[in-house]
Structure 1
C-alpha cells in the first residue's frame, strides 16, 4: 500500500530521532561503557536470547539494571515471507526470582526511558519490568511502512513472542498491564493468548463496538459529574461558538504559528475543536472551576479553550497517525453530539469525521471491522480470567468500558467516583487500595 507524503515525512523524522538517540548512546557515562565491557549476569543472558539486538544500558533511579533493546518481530506472523521489523523494549531488572510486569504500551515507549520511570505495579510489587512499545510507533516503525500489517492481532503476536522470549530469564509470575490504548492491548492480549500471563490489570481501557460507538455522547450529556457542572461545560462551548467571529482569527493565527495544516477548512476545525472540548475536559479531570466566566474577555476565553483542546489533534502533524488508522480499522472511537450547537456550527454533520479530518486521502477507504470487539466480548462473557479493571467515573472512555462485567469470581472492575483517565490503583481510598493489592498478592502466591 503506498503511503502519503505526510507519512514519508514522519518516517524521515523517525530516522532523525534514531540518529539523535544513537548520538546520545555514544555520549553515555563511562560507567555504562564499562558495564558493556564487563557484562553482568543479566546482560550476558540478554545477549544470548534469540532475536535480541542493540542492547544499551539506561540510567535508572528505580531498577538496579535497566536496558533498552530491540527484538526482531515478524510483520505478519502468519506469513513470515512478509519480512520483519525491530520492536523497542525497555527492561527494568529487579531479580530473576521476582515477578515480572509486562507493560503492553499502546503508543510509543519514549517516556519509559527516563531514569525516574517506574510502573505502578512494578513499584508496588518490587517486580521486573518488560515494557513493549507498540508496533508502528516511534522506534518500532517498520521501514517501509505498509499499513496492512498494523493490526491488533499482529500486535498481540508481538507480545506473545516477547513473553515467550523473556520467560527464559524470568520464570516467576507474569502480570500484564497497560493504560488507555495500552489497557485495551492488555485486554485483547488476554483474549487471544489467555495463558501467556498469570493475571492482567488494564487501566481505563475502552472496548468500542464501532468507529463512532454511540455511548460516549449520552454519557457526557447525561451522566458525567453533576447536571450543574455539565451545563457549565456546555455554556462555555456555546460561548466559544458565539464568539467565532472574534476568536476564529486568533485560532487561525495560533495554528499558523504552530505550523499546523488540516485536511478541511479551518472554520470546520474550529467547530470540531469546540465539540472535542467537553470530551477532553472530562477525560483529563480538569476542574470546572477553571472554566472562565461567559463574561471574560476574548483572550481569556481563547487561552482556556486552547489549553484544554489543542488543535494539533486534528492536524496533519498529529503525533498519533498510527492510532487513527487502528481506530478506523478495528479499535473504534467516539462521535460528537452536535444538537446543542447546531445553530452556530459551520459543519452540517460530524458523522464520519475521522475519515474526513484525521485520515489522509489514500487511507479513507478503510472500513471498521467489529471482529475484535465481538471476540473480546465473547471471551470475557464465557471465561473468568484473573483480571482487575480500573476506571475513572467521570472519564468519557468509561462509557465504553467493560463495567457490565458482573458476578465473576476472578474478573473485578473498580470505578473511582469522579475519577478521570488518570485513575490508577493509587487514586482510590486506602481501603480499596488494600482490597486490590490483597487480591493481587493472593494471586501471586497461587
Structure 2
C-alpha cells in the first residue's frame, strides 16, 4: 500500500512540476538573460576569486563534514557552531548541521528547513528551482546530531530556532549577497513563518507550504468540520469502516501486533503499553490517509470492512499509519517535535464520532510521546503572537495549502496589514501541495511573486505575471520532493 501510494504521489508531483516548467518559446526568450547567468557554471567574477569552499570555511565556527559532487553545483555538508541559548551565548555551544547547494554567488539564495533533520544528499526546493538559485538547508535544533549535550530542553523553542537561522543567514550573507527567500513545508513552513516573525528584516520573501496554525490549542472543531466533508462520502465511509473495524478487532490484531513487535525488536516504554501504541496508530489512520494520499487512491481501501479479513485490516492500517510509529524506536527521532507540540506549537484533537465508544484513550496528547524525564509546560501565547503578527505585518509572504490536507483546516490568514502576500490552495491537494499544483492563474501569480522577491523576475514577467515560469528546468534527481512527504508517513506530525 505504502509503495503504491508513493508511486501515485511521485507521479502527481512530477506531472505538476513538469507543467510548471514547460515554458512557451516566448516565455523562454523572456527568461533567457536570467537563465544564462545561472547555467550551472561559476561566473567570471566568481571564478577569478577565492574558491567558494575556502570562503565558506573561513566563517568562524563553520567546518566541513563532506563535499558531494553534483553537475552544475557544489554541494557541502557542514557543521556550524551555535549557542545553546542565544540570550546567553557564553553558556555553551553545539554543532548544527547545514547543507549548501552552491550555484553561484551572483544568484539569489533560498533558506530551506523541514523543521526536522536535514538531508545530506543534494536536493532543491521548489522556490530554488523557480529562481535558479543557491540553497542553504538547516537541521532544526535538537534533532540529532544537532542536539546540545547535555540537552537542556527548555532551550528548544521557536525563538531559539529562529535565532539559529538568523546567525546562519548573517554569516553567509557576506558571501551570498543577493536576495534571500526562506521556505519549508509543513513544520518547515511553520519554521519559515516564525523566522520571519522574529527577524523580519532578514529575508526578502517567505514561501510556506502546508503550514498549520493552531492558534487556540483547546479549540479544534475546524478539524471535525474538515473530516465531515473531505473527499466523497463513499471514500469517507471506507476509511471510517476500516478504522472502526481495527478497534472492534482489537484483541486478535493486538496479538498480531505483539508478534510483530517481538520480531522487529519494538518496545513501548514511552507510551507505556502496546495497547496505547496500537490505538494511537489506529486513531491516526483517517488523518494519515488524507495527509499523504489522494482521493483517487480510495479504491485501495477495503470497501466492506466488516467482512474483510484480519490481514486486510492490518495491512491497510499498517500501510497508511505504520505500526512501528509509536514504538520507542519510531518515536525517538521525533522527540523534539512532540516536545514542541506540547509546549508551543499545539496539536490536533479530533472527535471521530463514527468510532462510538471503541476508543479507550482518545487522541493522545504530545505528552504521551515524550519521555517522562523531559519536563513540558504548554505556552498558549506563542501561537497567538505569531498569528497576530502574520495577520497584521505579513510582507512578501506566500502560503500554499492542499484542499484535502487535514493540516490546512487551521491555516494562516492575512489581515488588513498584510502587503504583497497571498494564501492559495491546491485543488484536491494533500500535504505535498506545491505552487506547481495551483490553478494556472494562481500558479503564475505565485511564481511571479517568488521571482520578484528574489530579484530575478524577467522584464516580461514584470510586465505580465501570467508569463512567469521557473528559471531552472526540472531535474529528476534534485527536484523530486516526495522525500519531504514520505519522511513523516505513519504518524500525525506536520
TM-score, structure 1 length as denominator? Answer: 0.84
- Could you tell me which residue of structure 2 aligns to residue 296 of structure 1? 308
> Could you tell me whether the CA contact under 8 Å between 2:391 and 2:414 is conserved in 1?
no
Aligned-CA RMSD value: 2.1
Shift in Å, 1:56:
2.6
- In the alignment, the residues of structure 1 paired with residue 80 and residue 91 of structure 2 have an alpha-carbon distance, to the nearest angstrom, of 17
> Could you tell me whether the CA contact under 8 Å between 1:102 and 1:175 is conserved in 2?
yes
Q: Is 1:410 the equivalent of 2:407? A: no
Q: Is 1:387 the equivalent of 2:397? A: yes
1:394-433 alignment, distance < 5 Å: 394-403=404-413, 408-433=418-443
1:199-218 alignment, distance < 5 Å: 199-211=205-217, 214-215=220-221, 217-218=223-224
> Could you tell me whether the CA contact under 8 Å between 1:210 and 1:368 is conserved in 2?
no
- In the alignment, the residues of structure 2 paired with residue 233 and residue 40 of structure 1 have an alpha-carbon distance, to the nearest angstrom, of 59
Partner residue of 1:114 out of 121, 124, 136: 121
> Could you tell me whether the CA contact under 8 Å between 1:210 and 1:370 is conserved in 2?
yes
Q: Is 1:358 the equivalent of 2:369? A: yes
Q: Over residues 203-256 of structure 1, what are the superposed CA-to-partner deviations in whole Å (9 max), with x where a residue is unaligned?
A: 111111355651453144323223332222111211222222332211222222
Shift in Å, 1:281:
0.6
1:24-423 alignment, distance < 5 Å: 41-61=51-71, 63-109=72-118, 111=119, 113-115=120-122, 117-211=123-217, 214-215=220-221, 217-262=223-268, 263-286=271-294, 287-293=297-303, 294=305, 295-317=307-329, 318=331, 319-345=333-359, 347=360, 349-350=361-362, 353-355=365-367, 357-363=368-374, 365-403=375-413, 408-423=418-433
- Could you tell me which residue of structure 1 aligns to residue 43 of structure 2? none
1:14-25 alignment, distance < 5 Å: none
For residue 443 of structure 1, give the secondary structure of its aligned residue in structure 2: helix
For residue 328 of structure 2, give the secondary structure of its aligned residue in structure 1: coil
Give aligned pairs, total: 400
Q: 1:415 to 1:42 in 2, by over 3 A?
A: same
> Could you tell me whether the CA contact under 8 Å between 1:208 and 1:373 is conserved in 2?
yes
Where do 4+ consecutive residues of structure 1 move more than 6 Å? none
Shift in Å, 1:72:
0.9
Shift in Å, 1:374:
1.7
- Give the stretch that moved more between structures: 171-180 or 398-407: 398-407
Structure number with greater CO (CA < 8 Å, separation at least 6) is: 2
Shift in Å, 1:81:
2.9
> Could you tell me whether the CA contact under 8 Å between 1:74 and 1:85 is conserved in 2?
yes
Q: 1:213 to 1:205 in 2, by over 3 A?
A: farther
TM-score, structure 2 length as denominator? Answer: 0.76
> Could you tell me whether the CA contact under 8 Å between 1:60 and 1:114 is conserved in 2?
no
Q: Over residues 379-424 of structure 1, what are the superposed CA-to-partner deviations in whole Å (9 max), with x where a residue is unaligned?
A: 1122131011011111110012114657944110011121100111
Give the unaligned 5+ runs of structure 2.
1-48, 458-494
Shift in Å, 1:428:
2.5
Q: 1:82 to 1:342 in 2, by over 3 A?
A: farther
For residue 58 of structure 1, give the secondary structure of its aligned residue in structure 2: strand
- In the alignment, the residues of structure 2 paired with residue 146 and residue 59 of structure 1 have an alpha-carbon distance, to the nearest angstrom, of 37
For residue 272 of structure 1, give the secondary structure of its aligned residue in structure 2: helix
- In the alignment, the residues of structure 1 paired with residue 454 and residue 129 of structure 2 have an alpha-carbon distance, to the nearest angstrom, of 15
- In the alignment, the residues of structure 2 paired with residue 299 and residue 174 of structure 1 have an alpha-carbon distance, to the nearest angstrom, of 51
